Amino acid sequence: MNILEERILQDGILKDGNILIVDSFLNHQIDIKILEAMAGKVKDKFKEDKITKVLTIESSGIAIGTIVAQTLGVPLVFAKKNMARNLDDEIYETSVASYTYKNNYPVAVAKKLISKDDNVLIVDDFLAEGNACYGLIDIVNQAGANVAGISIAIEKGFQNGGRNLRADGYKLFSMAIIENFTDGQIIFR
């Protein structure tokens, strides 16, 4: 069991049987040491892949994206929600479905920040249905760049995102994969 799995068992809170709250160490308060541990594993997994840029999505991907980018020695770009059109009209835009809020929201990246020569590692805190990931993949594709892989802190293995991304051939690394919640217990894959 790795440091993230241990911390999920120690400080994660299960609400209503299937909502995992990790706001004391991952997405509201952030324990930097967990991000560093994950970034070290990401560096091992992608050391042959010549990553040129880390791409994430605001807000909860930014902290983990920052430490992964630092560890790989490349810049971080985060896709913005509700990007101010008047400040930068040259954008790649896509629409992401929110499983939690049952709606769609636009996310965008300034065109100048991803070039066709970029080899992009997508990073996020959670993977559930994969909607945010596929949105970021769409942006990378619009730029004509390459998706080198995807790194996730917590994958919900009982939802479809991980299965679909692997079936589509993406190199996906998840630091912790939750198989299911059984009788209020968290079972890892």
d(CA 113, CA 24): 32
Q: Which of residues 93-132 bind its own copies (CB under 8 A)?
A: 100, 109-110, 112-113
Q: Which of residues 62-91 bind its own copies (CB under 8 A)?
A: 62-63, 65-67, 69-70, 75-78, 80, 84, 87-88
d(CA 12, CA 123): 21
Q: What H or E segment, with its residue span, contains residue 142?
A: helix 131-142
Q: Which of residues 22-61 bind its own copies (CB under 8 A)?
A: 23-25, 28-32, 35-36, 58-59
Least Cβ distance, residue 166 to its own copies (angstroms):
29
d(CA 50, CA 23): 32
CA nearest neighbour of 155 among 185, 184, 186: 186
Least Cβ distance, residue 6 to its own copies (angstroms):
17
CB closer to its own copies out of 66 and 151: 66
CB closer to its own copies out of 25 and 46: 25
Instruction: Give me the residues paired with residue 91 across strands.
Output: 110
Choice from 1, 9, 14, 21 touching its own copies (CB under 8 A): 21
Q: Are 94 and 114 in contact (CB under 8 A)?
A: no
Burial of residue 44 (number of CB atoms within 10 Å: 0-12, 13-18, 19+): exposed
Residues that bind its own copies (CB under 8 A): 15, 19, 21, 23-25, 28-32, 35-36, 58-59, 62-63, 65-67, 69-70, 75-78, 80, 84, 87-88, 100, 109-110, 112-113
